[in-house]
Amino acid sequence: MDTAESTTAVKKNSKFKQSLVNFFTDLYKINQFILRFFREAFVPPFEFKEIVRQCFEVGVRSFTLISVTGFIVGVIFTKQSRPSLSEFGAQSWLPSLVSIAIMRALAPLVTALIASGKVGSSIGAELGSMRVTEQIDAMEVSGTKPFKFLVCTRVLATTLTIPILSTYTGLIAILGGFLNVSQNEGTSWSTFIQQVFEPLTFVDFVASLIKSIVFGFTIGIVGCYQGYNSTKGTEGVGKAANGAVVTAMFLVFIEEVIIVQITSWFR
């Protein structure tokens, strides 16, 4: 090995070591951020007014998109599942299949992905912009706790609102499924609803709710972490918004896998 090759190898090695150090440093910082949230969020004084305002913001921001997407998911899923079931003459199972897929997996997941894009990026950009324009510092020096006011309220808002949105997405998707089934098979609303709820168990509802709460918390905490710690001016704001979306989406998928695995033990 000549000197040039050995220098390149050393450089690569030190770069890898540096990335590894950065990764664990970030992990430690995120951990500290989450612990700080739990230390501050449940200690008075509570920011009820701001939490309600943020819940409204989260809900309104995503409502239209979630309504349209939920409906389309319901229609498309029903449409795409029909041929496979028809092959086995099991078309009558369509409402049950739709409800299981939507309530167990699609509704929380679709809602979380949309909220990651709409709400997560918005939180990242908003807090990032406040950080680089010293608005967060201004709050701090005026005797306000910015973490409590900005971070705790947003994380609580996403944690509370996303399960509601997820339930709404499920209902809209089932409605989409019903319209498709009713058009093709002529199934009545009462029969459809009966078949929809028949296969669902208590575990399904609880698992779906827990999943949405975890997703909501993740979207809020990731968006806030990225924005609150953003640096390097306007470039940092863009990075915070982008980081909030990418990281939240990635974590949502990981959590989905873990929660599905855990809930399968209870079935």
Partner 1 sequence: MKKTHTPTDHSNPVISIRGLKKAFEDYAVLRGIDLDLYQGENLVVLGRSGTGKSVLIKIISGLLKPDAGEITVLGHNMEQITEKELQELRVRIGFSFQNSALYDSMTVRKNLEFPLVRNRKGITRAEINTAVETVLDAVGLSQTINQMPAELSGGQRKRIGIARTLILNPEIMLYDEPTAGLDPITCIEINDLINEVQQRYNTSSIIITHDLTCAKQTGDRIAMLLDGQFQRTGTFDEVFDTDDTRVKPFFDYNFIH
Q: How far apart are CA 77 and CA 101, in angstroms?
A: 9
* Window 129 to 158, contacts with partner 1 (CB under 8 A): 129-130, 133-135, 137-145
> Is there binding between residue 239 and partner 1 (CB under 8 A)?
no
How many Cβ atoms are within 10 Å of 46's Cβ, its own excluded? 14
Cβ atoms within 10 Å of 76's Cβ, excluding its own: 14
Angle at alpha carbon of residue 31, lines to 29 and 33, rounded to 5°: 70
Cβ neighbours around 142 below 10 Å, total = 8
What minimum distance in Å lies between the beta carbon of 38 and partner 1? Answer: 17
What is the DSSP-derived secondary structure letter of residue 119? I
If binding is defined by CB under 8 A, does position 54 make contact with partner 1? no
Residue 193 vs residues 171, 175, 177: alpha-carbon distances, Å: 11, 10, 11
| CA angle (145 as vertex; 142, 150 as ends), nearest 5 | 115
Nearest to partner 1 of 118, 148 (CB atom)? 148
CB 227 within 8 A of CB 240: yes
Nearer Cβ to partner 1 (142/261) = 142
Residue with smaller CB distance to partner 1, 44 or 89: 44
The least CB distance from residue 215 to partner 1, in Å, is 26
Nearer to partner 1, 40 or 256 (CB): 40
Distance CA 40, CA 253 (A): 28
State yes or no: residue 44 binds partner 1 (CB under 8 A): no
Among all chains, which residue has been given the structure tokens 């498309």? 76
User: Of the two residues 12 and 232, which places its CB atom closer to partner 1 in the complex?
Assistant: 232
Nearest approach, Cβ of residue 230 and partner 1 (Å): 15
Of residues 54 and 180, the one with the C-beta less far from partner 1: 54
CB nearer partner 1, residue 134 or residue 235: 134
Q: Which two tokens stand for residue 119?
A: 């709400």
DSSP class of residue 267 equals -
**Number of chain positions touching partner 1 (CB under 8 A):** 14
Q: Report 97-136 residues binding partner 1 (CB under 8 A).
A: 129-130, 133-135
Q: Minimum distance between the CB of residue 144 and partner 1, rounded to whole angstroms?
A: 5
Binding of partner 1 by 229 (CB under 8 A): no
Query: Applying CB under 8 A, which residues contact partner 1?
Result: 129-130, 133-135, 137-145
